[in-house]
Amino acid sequence: MKDQALELKAAIQISKPLNEVFDAIIDPVKMSNYFISQGTGKMEEGKKIIWRFPEFESDAPIRVGKIEKNKYISFYWDLDGIELFVEMALTPRPNNSTLVTITEKERKNDEAGIKWLKGNTEGWANFLACLKAWLEYGINLRKGAFDFMSDKN
């Protein structure tokens, strides 16, 4: 078991149609309502963009992988010098809802990997809750939520 690579998975159902959920994820203007403070461009296949977060000074460089409109988004981002692969699958559900499943991979099954697994699983679960709150109710759950972690203070 020790040699097995770690990957994380988080999922949530959102009571909005596929196209609205997809657009909220790829458009940095919409993402600024629940996740980032700013992005340098829309997520488009093969494009390199930067995400900025409201609490932190550092930028998150993103290399967009494959995009399938209203179905699938993948990208790579750097975490502590390790490029990680993120996949977001959008699945239609009854009553015009969308299931969003996020998978991020992979890290070694060691102390650093377990720390990443815990932190990023929490992070993606938070992303999904914030996305749901904004799309369904117009609430920005992230605003002020992570000021205690800020490196701007």
Residue 78 or residue 35, greater confidence = 35
Among 31-35, 72-76, 140-144, the range scoring the smallest mean pLDDT is 140-144
Is the domain spanning 6-143 CATH 3.30.530.20? The answer is yes
Question: 10 with 106: CB under 8 angstroms?
Answer: no
Q: Percent of the chain having pLDDT more than 70?
A: 92
* pLDDT surpasses 80 at 80: no
Task: Tell me what the mean pLDDT of segment 136-152 comes to.
Answer: 75
In this prediction, residue 150 carries a pLDDT of 64
Domain ranges of the chain: 6-143
Residue 76 or residue 79, greater confidence = 76
Q: pLDDT of 113-126, one tens digit each?
A: 999 999 999 999 99
User: Within a 10 A sphere around the Cβ of 14, how many other Cβ atoms?
Assistant: 22
What is the SS3 string spanning the chain? CCCCCEEEEEEEEECCCHHHHHHHHHCHHHHCCCCCCEECCCCCCCCEEEEECCCCCCEEEEEEEEEECCCEEEEEEEECCEEEEEEEEEEEECCCEEEEEEEEEEECCCHHHHHHHHHHHHHHHHHHHHHHHHHHHCCCCCCCCCHHHCCCC
Q: pLDDT of 7-56, one tens digit each?
A: 999 999 999 999 999 999 999 999 999 999 999 999 999 999 999 987 77
Question: 25 with 73: CB under 8 angstroms?
Answer: yes
Mean pLDDT of the chain: 91
Among 4-8, 51-55, 127-131, the range scoring the smallest mean pLDDT is 51-55
